[in-house]
């Protein structure tokens, strides 16, 4: 009975003393995050009917990419920040039950994101780690957006030029001695309020907007996270001279 306990303790000490710890390591990484949409996280299609006109806005697969900066404080805790370019796209469909009107178009939002999250590591093997993080993100919306043609009008009005969001992440990280860190995970983002209000309407023969509809675009999303961190050596400790 004692031998398994000794082996477990020895294995635990081996993991704790791993050379792949994040303590005193500051590294820079790059990431690509395809954006997924689902009604489970309130990002499914939105539909409204104004008299005989039916409006539907459906989120499409988007993406985000950017730079990540990670600062390690202990072997289990780090802080991450950086900047991301995010592009969210939507399909817009307008149909009229009483005529042959049928419009299919799309529009996109460009958002810049600065996240700040705290990370906790759980070591699963000598080089494999489970990461979980939670924090906030500041989303910068540079402008309102509009699109349209002679048949319809669309304009999305941003709620504010900067919006806070909650950000949570879970993933796996494989660390090498000289070739950096490779990461695969998932992130969930939820803004504190809707990011825009989209106004959509039909344009009549006099170029006047009629039968206008309004949609609150929430901005929630789930991403698949692909990251690579460059190799960096631990920072040296400096002792004070007496």
pLDDT per residue over 151-184, tens digit each? 888 999 999 999 999 999 999 999 998 889 999 9
**How far is residue 8's CA from residue 4's CA, in Å, rounded to a whole number?**
6
Q: What count of other Cβ atoms lies within 10 Å of the Cβ of residue 34?
A: 14
DSSP 73-117: SSSSEEEEEEEEEEEEEEEEEEEETTSS-EEEEEEEEEEEEEEEE
Question: How many domains does the chain contain in total?
Answer: 1
pLDDT in tens, 29-60: 999 999 987 666 666 788 888 888 899 999 88
Average pLDDT in the chain: 84
Q: Domain limits at 177?
A: 2-229
Residue 135 lies in a domain: yes
Domain membership flag for residue 241: no
In a domain, 238, yes or no: no
pLDDT digits (tens, 9 = 90+) for 197-238: 999 988 877 777 888 889 999 888 899 999 999 977 776 654
CATH number of residue 121's parent domain: 2.40.160.20
Domain-embedded: residue 239: no
20 lies in a domain? yes
240 in any annotated domain:
no
Residue 235 inside a domain? The answer is no
Q: What is the pLDDT of residue 43?
A: 67
Q: Does any domain span residue 87?
A: yes
Share of the chain above pLDDT 90, in %: 52
């Amino acid at each position: 009975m004692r031998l398994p306990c000794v082996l477990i303790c020895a294995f635990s000490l081996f993991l704790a003393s791993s050379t792949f710890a994040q303590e005193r390591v500051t590294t820079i990484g790059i990431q690509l995050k395809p954006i997924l949409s689902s009604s489970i996280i309130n990002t499914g299609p939105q539909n409204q009917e104004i008299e005989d006109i039916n409006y539907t806005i459906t989120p499409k697969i988007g993406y985000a990419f950017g730079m990540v900066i990670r600062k390690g404080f202990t072997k289990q805790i780090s802080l991450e920040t950086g900047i991301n370019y995010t592009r969210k796209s939507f399909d817009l469909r307008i149909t009229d039950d009483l005529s042959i009107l049928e419009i299919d178009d799309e529009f996109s939002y460009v958002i810049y994101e600065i996240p700040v999250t705290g990370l906790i590591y759980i070591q699963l093997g000598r080089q494999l780690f489970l990461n979980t993080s939670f924090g906030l993100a500041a989303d910068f919306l540079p402008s309102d957006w509009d699109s349209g043609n002679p048949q319809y009008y669309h304009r999305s009005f941003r709620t504010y030029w900067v919006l806070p969001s909650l950000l949570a992440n879970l993933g796996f990280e494989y660390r090498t001695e000289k070739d950096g860190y490779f990461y695969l995970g998932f992130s969930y983002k939820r803004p504190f309020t809707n990011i825009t209000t989209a106004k959509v309407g039909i344009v009549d023969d006099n170029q006047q907007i009629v039968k206008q509809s309004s949609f609150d675009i929430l901005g929630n999303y789930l991403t698949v996270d692909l990251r690579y961190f460059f190799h960096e050596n631990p920072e040296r400790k400096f002792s004070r001279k007496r």
